[in-house]
Amino acid sequence: MTRVVHPIAKSGQIIGLLGGSFDPAHAGHVHITTTAIKRFRLDRVWWLVSPGNPLKKNGPAPLADRMRTAREVMKHPRVCVTDIEARLGTRYTADTLAALKARHAGVRFVWLMGADNLTQFHQWQDWRWIMDNVPVGVVARPGDRIAARLSKAAKIYASARIPGRGAHILGMKHAPAWSFINLPMSSQSSSAIRARGEWR
């Protein structure tokens, strides 16, 4: 399998970062990604396939397997599937973002996540640093809209929220800035796929 040492980025580009274990990657991830490209007007999206999730007790499938599956699922000319976190040696999202910002001073990064992650975002390591340093694009998933809007992160950063109709300017804004795009999403999930015995 060919591995990407480091994705290519040009100064001035707006690049969305979608991190996760992708255990396994599925059509829901693809739908979130293509929607984010359109609504947030992103030049590129990098899938950051993580070595492991610090918030999960059980480790994921081997990284090589998850990378291979992710590349089979996500075929888009503006999306790069990468294992850069393993190569950077970063464990937490904040550390990864700090490293990428240092390497690409002229690039505008946007952190992407599902609305389900916003509900627990305050449990992430250095989550306030993330909000204060990188614009965040939140994509709604079924059943998570209300809980996400009532989350601790949403309340603390309420004044930094950009309405969904203005989501296209998110990448040009200075942090803290975040936008919640509310639309029908795929109900497919990695946990459901694993529960059905269709992975590993």
Cis geometry, peptide bond prior to residue 184 (ω within 30 degrees of 0) = no
pTM, whole model, 2 decimals? 0.86
How far apart (Å, rounded) are the C-alpha atoms in residues 138 and 130? 13
Phi, psi torsion values for 19, nearest 5 degrees: -100, 160
Examine the pLDDT at 149 and tell me if it is beyond 90: no
Residue 191: predicted pLDDT: 53
Indicate if the pLDDT at residue 117 is higher than 50: yes
CA angle 176, 181, 185 (to 5 degrees): 140
Report whether pLDDT(69) > 90: yes
Residues of the chain above pLDDT 70, percent: 84
Distance, in Å, from the CA atom of 166 to the CA atom of 199, rounded to the nearest integer, reads: 38
Identity of residue 58 = N
Kindly state the average pLDDT of the residues 52-81: 86
- pLDDT of 147 reads 85
Least confident of 4-8, 16-20, 124-128, 171-175: 4-8
